[in-house]
Structure 1
Amino acid sequence: MTEKEAQDWLRTNIDVSRETWQQLEDFLALLADEMVHQNLISKLSAEHIWERHVVDSAQLLLFAPKAEGNEIWMDLGTGAGFPGIVVAILSDYVVQMVESRGRRSAFLETVVNKLGLTEKAMIYGDRLENVESHAVDVISARAFAPLPKLLSLSHRFSTEKTVWLLPKGKNAVRELKGLSPKRQKMFHVEQSLTDPEAGILVGIG
């Protein structure tokens, strides 16, 4: 997928207004500026940012229920803002981003404020273990922890209706097989649009 193809995919598959598109471009500009000060994404992936990061994040919306405006999406280990900031821009979810690294959480705060996302996005600048338990509708984690640890740390935020969206790259099937039979039944694997060898674990409960 080229950068143009990635942008075309967004326009075709996600309802992106002119204002929303501008927010995406403003976010990427803020990211580029911050990369001078901290290594948020690799330089190689930055050259393919629409494919490797924007579309890679946006595709998760295809597996989530459409939000009406007060549903909560919790993104674990948001880092540079993927998928949390992208989801906040492209959907009506209230996005809670958990990022314990101080400089990265400060960057996310800056992005939320400058893009006018304060009413639909918030940052927990702390370890997940220190976040008070509450129910959320979607849990995503792009590069947070191995699957057993991820589930152990975050299950207290889930209900029987919570949707889990966990990009796991080439290790998706292997990590799924490492779970107990009961937990394996929660998930199935979807192929990533941006990498034919990568998988996304999609689960409910």
Structure 2
Amino acid sequence: MTEESARQWIIDRFGVSRETRLAQFADLLVQGSAQQNLISASTIPYVWERHLLDSAQLIPLAAEAGEGSWIDIGAGAGLPGMVIAILTDRPVVLVEPRIKRVEFLRETAAVLDLGQQVDVVQSRIESYKPPVAASVVSARAVAELSKLLLSTVHCTDLSTVWILPKGRNVQSEVDDARRKWQGVFHVERSLTADDSGIVVARGVRPR
């Protein structure tokens, strides 16, 4: 997929006004990457495909989730969490332990006028307890699936939808997780990488 087609995919589904704000975020992401390693320099020419569309494609997978918060774990550069906030009206909680990333996320939320929608929490997910269970949980390149579920299950209930982008080992991670966890797991194909998938899970609980 080209940068133009990635951008058009977002316009077609979310409209021009949200795409315009997403373009502002892309500029902030590139500028911030000059100060700290938010995204790899090699991916900057492909920021719409590799990062923005890669994040935006998660939103339709949450169509059946409740109206509560979307928690993004290890939020880093705001991928996918900040993209979710820009393209939807859902409250988003960005959980990130590293102070420089937290500062970037808070400054970005302020610049994009997302302060009422986005809550940036400096914490490891193991230490964070939301006031109510998350409706959606996402995590991009944080941990192996079983470990991720273990560290985060206290933030969820049986109605939570987990949406977890994974690499080429996605099916083996799901197979391993099923030995320790009950729930409905399936893998969606990624729009941005043929050898990657997105784990969508519901009803997750320990065996």
- Same fold flag (TM > 0.5): yes
Contact 1:78–1:141 (CA<8 Å) still a contact in 2?
A: yes
SS at match of 2:60: helix
Q: Distance in 2 between matches of 1:2 and 1:184?
A: 39
Question: Could you say if the C-alpha distance between residues 55 and 23 of structure 1 is closer, same or farther in structure 2, counting changes exceeding 3 Å?
Answer: same
Specify the code of the residue in structure 1 equivalent to 2:110.
N
Give the distance between the partners of 1:36 and 1:182, measured in 2 at CA.
Answer: 42
- Shift of the 49–176 alpha-carbon distance from structure 1 to 2, 3 Å rule, reads same
Deviation at residue 184 of structure 1 after TM alignment: 6.2
Asked whether the equivalents of residues 139 and 163 of structure 2 are also in contact (C-alpha less than 8 Å), the reply is yes
Query: Residue 105 of structure 1 corresponds to which residue in structure 2?
Result: 102
**Are the aligned partners of 1:135 and 1:159 in contact in 2 as well (CA < 8 Å)?**
yes
Q: Give the aligned CA root-mean-square deviation in angstroms.
A: 1.6
Partner residue, 1:151: 149
**Cα distance between partner residues in 2 of 1:60 and 1:21:** 16
Stretches of structure 1 that go unaligned for 5 or more consecutive residues are none
State the identity %. 41
Note the 1:153-172 alignment, pairs <5 A. 153-172=151-170
Residue 3 of structure 2 is matched in structure 1 by 3
**Pairing of 1:87-106 with structure 2 (within 5 A):** 87-106=84-103
Once residues 202 and 49 of structure 2 are traced to their aligned partners in structure 1, the CA distance between those partners, rounded to angstroms, is: 27
Q: Give the Cα separation in 2 of the matches to 1:109 and 1:16.
A: 25
1:17, CA displacement in angstroms? Answer: 3.5
Residue 16, structure 1, aligned to residue 15, structure 2? yes
Q: Is the 8 A contact 1:67 1:92 kept in 2?
A: no
> Post-superposition, which runs of at least 4 consecutive aligned residues in structure 1 deviate over 4 A?
none
Q: How far apart are residue 180 of structure 1 and its match?
A: 3.4
Q: Paired residue for 1:43, among 36, 41, 51?
A: 41
For residues 155-181 of structure 1, the C-alpha deviation after alignment (integer angstroms, 9 at most, x for no partner) is: 011111110000011111011111234
Matched position secondary structure for 2:116: coil
Q: Deviations over 1:75-106 (max 9, x none)?
A: 00111110000000001110001110110111
Asked whether the equivalents of residues 176 and 184 of structure 1 are also in contact (C-alpha less than 8 Å), the reply is no
Amino acid across the alignment from 1:11: I
Alignment-mate amino acid for residue 123 of structure 2:
D
* Structure 2 runs not aligned, ≥5 long: none
Secondary structure, in 3 states, of the residue corresponding to 1:86? Answer: helix
String of CA shifts for 1:137-157, please: whole Å, max 9, x gaps. 000001111111110011011
Residue identity matched to 2:19: W
Residue correspondence of structure 1 range 32-181 to structure 2 within 5 A? 32-65=30-63, 71-133=68-130, 134-181=132-179
- Give the whole-Å Cα distance in 1 for the aligned partners of 2:65 and 2:181: 26
Local SS of the residue matching 1:161: coil
Number of aligned residue pairs: give it.
202
The AA in structure 1 aligned to 2:150 is: S
Aligned to 2:194: 196
* Displacement of 1:36: 1.4
**In structure 1, how many angstroms separate the alpha carbons of the residues matched to 2:65 and 2:20?**
21
